[in-house]
Amino acid sequence: MLAVLTCVGCSARPDATARGSGYAVLAEVTRAYVNHLRTSKFRPPADEEEFKKILSQAGDQALKGAGVNSVDALLVSPRDSKPLVIAYGQDARKFLGRGIVALEREGVSGRRLVGYSLGYVNETDAALFKDLLDR
């Protein structure tokens, strides 16, 4: 039994697809954003155009991981079909100060997926989401 327990969580890359395509898309966006922060002395992308270049550099692996066919598709939540809100330029400091790099614009049934600067994605309810933004 101990051998089984030691293997849980061994993967360096969590399988976001197991939780649904919304998680997978936001996980790839979050991963690319966090990698960019690490390699750019924590300078956020200036705008969507720059971030699309960053996503393109992530290659086909990011597209495959998210289950989409284009960089443009990575910027839209499959759950609410709205463009993701991503922390760009000067406005990024507000989100990054709260640990957020990207999030769903509307989400589903009062719950939104949020990508964090620590590299993970979490689903939040309306109360927690409000608390995140009010900090």
pLDDT above 60 for 37: yes
> What CA–CA distance (Å, rounded) separates 33 from 119?
9
Q: Phi-psi region for residue 20, left (φ > 0), alpha (ψ -120 to 50) or beta? A: left
pLDDT band at 35 (very low <50, low <70, confident <90, very high): very high
User: What phi and psi, each to the nearest 5 degrees, are found at residue 85?
Assistant: -90, 120
- pLDDT of the residue at 1: 39
- pLDDT of the residue at 22: 87
Q: 102 versus 5: which is more confidently predicted? A: 102
- pLDDT of the residue at 135: 63
DSSP class of residue 124 equals: E
Share of the chain above pLDDT 70, in %: 83
Contact 79, 106 (CB under 8 A): no
> What CA–CA distance (Å, rounded) separates 67 from 87?
23
